[in-house]
Amino acid sequence: MVFSTIIFLFRFLPITLALYYLAPAKLKNTVLFVCSLVFYCWGEVRFFPVMLALILINYLCGLGLEKCAAKPAARTALLLAALAGSLGMLFYFKYANFVLSSLNALLGTDFAAIQGISTLPLGISFYTFQTLSYTIDVYRGEVKTEHNIIDFGAYVVMFPQLIAGPIVKYRDVSAQLHVYEHRYHLKQIEEGMTLFTFGLAKKVLLADAVGALWTDIIGIQSSPSTTYVGLGNASTALVWLGVIAYSLQLYFDFSGYSMMAIGMGKMLGFDFPQNFNFPYISRSITEFWRRWHMTLSGWFREYVYIPLGGNRKGLKRQIFNLFVVELLTGIWHGADWNFICWGLYYFVLLAIEKLFLLKYLEKGKLWPHVYTLFLVVVGWAMFVGNDYGVGFGELFHRLFVPTGGVSPVYFLRNYGVLLAVSAVCCTPLIETLWNALKKRTATRVATVLVLLVLSTAYVVGSTNSPFLYFNF
Amino acid sequence: MEKKKRLSSLKQYPVLMAFSLFFIALFVLDMATPDRAYSEMENTTLTQRPKLTAVSVDGLNSYFTNYTKYVKDQVFGRDQWIDLQSLAETTLFQKTQSGGILLGKEHRMFARRYRVLPSEEKTWNKNLAAVSSLSERCPGKVSFMLVPSASTVYPEKLPLAAPQMDEEARINEAANVVQGGHFINVLPALYDHKDEYLYYRTDHHWTTLGAYYAYEAFCKELGLTPFDRSTHTVETAEDFYGTHYSKARTWNAEPDTITWYDLQNKLTIWNVTGPGQPTDGTETGLYDTAKLDVYDKYAMFLHGNNGLSRVEGDGTGKILVIKDSYANSFVPYLTANYGAIDVVDFRNYNYGLDQLIADNNYDAILVLYSYSSFTSDPYLYRAGVAG
């Protein structure tokens, strides 16, 4: 189920919240667990056992780790079993066919693709990382083993962050999961509702709308009869405009989703970590990765970068560690070569900044912004390079070799206001505006209501565009 | 006492109240309003509440899918929400398109067509081959007319710099496919009269007047005397909102006027059960005025797109018209020239033509399509103009 749909907004969410609020304190986690399972299964019931297996593997390993407190070998074996189970599932569904086809291409072998896994289990990239954080933390002794399988299940499959993050570590919510009475308070719920509305508006008023500029150029896979310019017919200026629109869409889509998730978390009484902090105002790539998808970078830092030695083992080792993290970040985003390129591209940029560039960037005023945005947009071009209707080579040729074709004038005229609004919403100006509006009750309520009504109109009015991060 | 305290504390959270009321109200209204069977505006049947047929993987999956569709189709105030989105798009965001329709000057709406799609290229070539083959099998008899879209006749009314493809060049490409027949190029005639009301603003069709100038060009090419408009009464119907409007849904759309000539000719809609000339049919008039009371008013012409029908004309000889809906407002003029006008719409006629042609020995065959359906509609070549 996607958040920006009528079924979610006007059926699932109100019913789930009502059941959750009305349920006796002891049963709240059960309600959350069951409703979240329905949410998870709504799109494809077949993946139900995948979720169940993942919960059981990590739950049992957690119990085992506690039992074998004094046997380091057994503990290591249990951790490895949990890692193999979780990552194995992720690998099977997400990467197996990519690896097979790559082997076939490289070695001339003839492995047949595995059938029936062309669609990924909903949110598998997100929840495998969440459950791993639990098992690793138990192994390290940083959290206590969870004995109640309902509570643990409620954490793993909790619907707000299930499909698109933020990646919530078990220890972020474990305390709150065991507060049964007074888990939430009205102020927190109100904050959650406000955040949810903003997230929804970001997703449907901005992301989907500005994304249409990009699909005007490359077409829509699910709707081949919808007209489009075609990458091969677009001028270089229009292709740049398109990639910028795609960059805006990606940010609003993903951060809108995270915001809705954090908002719903608050409605349920949980405080999820922040996932985006105005990434497009960064003054260096280093800063960009501190502001973009913060919970993923945090996860890799904590469970890969620092265990490898981080920056404590000399510069050479640090650069190597950086390489590993960025490679994994690329692979996490998708099973294709362009995502690996995209990850390595950021490794190179981060390494250059670490080696010498950062100190100049810190002194600059305007140019570090231009530098960062330019490289980030080029990064997104790599990211989208193998999508439907896009050829990696053709896209970069169009971007960097000036070519004539359909001009961007019409698209600037049609999407002009939206692009301007989008640009403002990428900066803290929008926060300043909200801070002014929320001072008075009337403007605060009016803002939320207007956004809710408009977003509903857009949800009903448009054929919904699927959430972009689904296949990651 | 406890309850009162809670209620008063709720008042301190007006956003919480507003948010909750919004969702509760919509939920209740959604439940309370009866489900609709059909949306006239969207020209489609709406999904009804599904039943869970089996507690199996497939049973649950299809139930979930259908329930999702059901809730989407039956949401409270669906039409009003769509109108509101269009309003926001055109006013707040100042867009020059809505629902995929280009919003031009003078409240004119245009279909977007940025390029020839790969699928259109294929269909176009197959359809051209089908027409070519027909003209070889019926030497000298076939006339071929491709009607341009409104944006080709009125490019200056398009939104600023809209990247519409060059339809005229494509239509000209089709000029030499008819072997030994006639290609009727209607563009010059339409350009000559472009300050008149040739296309509906809110619909993709040409008006009865636009069809007339094309008909004049047809008569000129075949050496016929055109229908005399001065001897017939014009009837009109106001408030026509067409297909473009149903997509764009703009608040300030200007409705169109439908006109037709008061003709008493008979129309027979045949029950087609096999190739060749059927024997069984329903007799009626040229116009279905009952359609003027529903949304799709254009369907009044020739009672919509029937598979095979015959108009009894006032002239001599027989003509076969193979067509899409653009011909529906064109065919009435042919009553001045022919004694019988047979009209085939392949979307509702699943047989080849050769038997029909053999049974009727037509004097002329007119293939009349809009550019748009000729390049996208597979029925023409599939149903086999080629046999």
| Amino acid making up residue A441 | T
Same domain as B121, residue B45: no
Going by pLDDT thresholds of 50, 70 and 90, the confidence category of residue B383 is low
Distance (Å) from the alpha carbon of A213 to chain B's nearest alpha carbon: 12
* Burial track A396-414 (b if 16+ CB lie within 10 A, e otherwise): eebbeeebebbebebbbbb
- The per-residue pLDDT for A255 is 95
Residue B95 contacts A, CB cutoff 8 Å: yes
Q: What is the mean pLDDT of residues B369-373?
A: 93
Residue A469 has pLDDT above 60, yes or no: no
Q: What is the pLDDT of residue A37?
A: 94
Give dist(CA A381, CA A397) in Å, integer: 11
Determine the average pLDDT of the residues in A356-367: 90
Q: Which residues of B touch A229 (CB under 8 A)?
A: 114-115, 163
Q: Do B86 and A448 touch (CB under 8 A)?
A: no
Burial classification of residue B4, based on how many CB atoms lie within 10 Å of its CB (0-12 exposed, 13-18 middle, 19 or more buried)? exposed
- A134, A59 Cβ separation under 8 angstroms: no
- The answer to whether the Cβ–Cβ distance between A410 and B119 falls below 8 Å is no
User: How confident is the model over A258-310, as pLDDT tens digits?
Assistant: 999 999 999 999 999 999 999 999 999 999 999 999 999 999 999 999 999 98
Burial (CB < 10 A; 0-12, 13-18, 19+), residue B369, is buried
Which of B94, B117, B162 lies at the smallest CB-CB distance from A410?
B162
Same domain, B41 and B114: no
Average pLDDT value for residue range A37-62:
91
Q: Does residue B140 lie within any of the structural domains?
A: yes
Q: Is B338 within a domain?
A: yes
* Rounded percentage of chain B residues whose pLDDT exceeds 90: 65
Residue B179 lies in a domain: yes
Counting residues of chain A whose pLDDT is more than 70, the rounded percentage is 98
Chain A closest CA to B247's CA: distance in Å? 10
Distance, in angstroms, between B237 CA and closest chain A CA? 30
- A445 and B15 within 8 Å at the Cβ level: the answer is yes
Q: B127 with B7, same domain?
A: no
Arithmetic mean of pLDDT, A22-41: 93
Q: B55 CB near a chain A CB, below 8 Å?
A: no
Extract the tokens encoding B143: 């006339």
Q: For residue A459, give Cα distances in angstroms to A9, A466, B59.
A: 10, 12, 27
pLDDT digits 0-9 by tens, A385-418: 888 888 899 999 999 999 999 999 999 999 999 9
Does the distance separating the beta carbons of B86 and A415 come in below 8 Å?
no
Same domain, B307 and B229: yes
Evaluate if residue B110 carries a pLDDT over 90. Answer: yes
Rounded CA separation A102/A338 (Å):
13
Whole-angstrom distance between the N-terminal and C-terminal Cα of chain A? 16
DSSP of A20-64: HHHS-GGGHHHHHHHHHHHHHHSS-GGGHHHHHHHHHHHHHHHHH
Return the closest-CA partner of residue B348 out of B322, B376, B387: B322
Whether A312 has a pLDDT exceeding 60, the answer reads yes
Query: Are B45 and B145 in the same domain?
Result: no
In chain B, the N- to C-terminal Cα span, in Å, equals 86
List the single best residue of A1, A3, A7, A217 to mutate versus B (max B Cβ within 10 A).
A7
Strand partners, B145: B184, B368
Please write the tens of the pLDDT for every residue from B324-370: 999 999 999 999 999 999 999 988 888 888 889 999 999 999 999 99
Q: Are residues B6 and B49 in the same domain?
A: no
For A426, the 3-state DSSP assignment is coil
Of B72, B92, B96, the CB nearest to A414: B96
| Total number of domains constituting chain B | 3
**CA-to-CA distance for B280 and B269, rounded, in angstroms?**
9
Size of the A and B interface in Cβ pairs below 8 Å: 143
CA B28 to chain A, closest CA, distance in angstroms equals: 10
Residue percentage of chain A with pLDDT more than 90: 71
The active-site residue out of A147, A333, A369, A397 is: A333
B45 and B20, same structural domain? Answer: no
Determine whether the interchain pair B85/A461 forms a contact, defined as Cβ–Cβ distance below 8 Å. Answer: yes
Q: How far apart are CA B158 and CA B249, in angstroms?
A: 18
Of B24, B60, B159, the CB nearest to A45: B60
B355 closest CA partner among B377, B385, B380 = B385
In the 8-state DSSP scheme, what is residue B347?
G
Residue ranges of the domains in chain A? 6-182, 188-283+364-471
Residue B87 lies in a domain: no
pLDDT tens-digit profile of B183-222?
999 999 999 999 999 999 999 999 999 999 999 999 999 9
What is residue A305's three-state secondary structure?
Answer: helix
Q: Do B93 and A457 touch (CB under 8 A)?
A: no
Whether residues B15 and B65 fall in one domain? no
Among A230, A414, A461, beta carbon nearest to B115: A230
Catalytic, A185? Answer: no
Neighbouring C-beta atoms of residue A250, cutoff 10 Å: 20
Q: Identify whether residues B169 and B287 lie together within a single domain.
A: yes
Mean pLDDT of A83-90: 91
CA distance B102 to B97: 4
- Do B9 and B45 have their domain in common? no
Residue B1 confidence (pLDDT) above 70: no
Inside any domain, residue B88:
no
For chain B, positions 144-203, list CB contacts with chain A under 8 A: 159-163
Give the range among A111-115, A350-354, A394-398 with minimum mean pLDDT.
Answer: A111-115
Count Cβ atoms within 10 A of the Cβ of residue B5 and give its class: 0-12 exposed, 13-18 middle, 19 or more buried. exposed
In whole numbers, what is the pLDDT of chain A averaged over residues?
A: 91
Please indicate if any CB of chain A lies within 8 Å of the CB of B49: no
Pair B275, B312 in one domain? yes
- On whether residue B100 sits in a domain, the answer given is no
Domain extent, residue B1, equals 1-26
For B35-91, the pLDDT digits (tens) are: 888 877 777 778 889 988 888 888 888 889 888 889 888 889 888 999 999 999 999
Q: What is the pLDDT of residue A397?
A: 93
| Residues B161, B48 share a domain | no
Q: Cβ of B85 and A460 within 8 Å?
A: yes
Look up residue B179 and give its DSSP letter. Answer: S
Q: Across-strand partners of B101?
A: B98, B111
Per-residue pLDDT at A334: 87
Quote the pLDDT of residue A183.
Answer: 86
What pLDDT, on the 0 to 100 scale, is given for residue B6?
62
Give me the interface pTM, i.e. the ipTM. 0.89
Burial tier of B32 (Cβ tally within 10 Å: 0-12, 13-18, 19+): exposed
Q: Distance from B235 to chain A by nearest Cα, in Å? A: 36
Q: Do B27 and A449 touch (CB under 8 A)?
A: no
Mean pLDDT (whole number) for A200-226? 92
Looking at residue A471, what is its pLDDT?
A: 34
Cis check for the bond before A160: say yes or no (omega within 30 of 0).
no
- What does the alpha-carbon distance between residue A332 and residue A167 come to, in Å, rounded to a whole number? 13
User: Are A91 and A328 within 8 A, CB to CB?
Assistant: no
B174: DSSP letter: G
105-124 in B: which are within 8 Å (CB) of A? 112-115, 117, 119
Residue B90 domain-assigned (yes or no): no
Q: Is some CB atom of chain A closer than 8 A to the CB atom of B139?
A: no
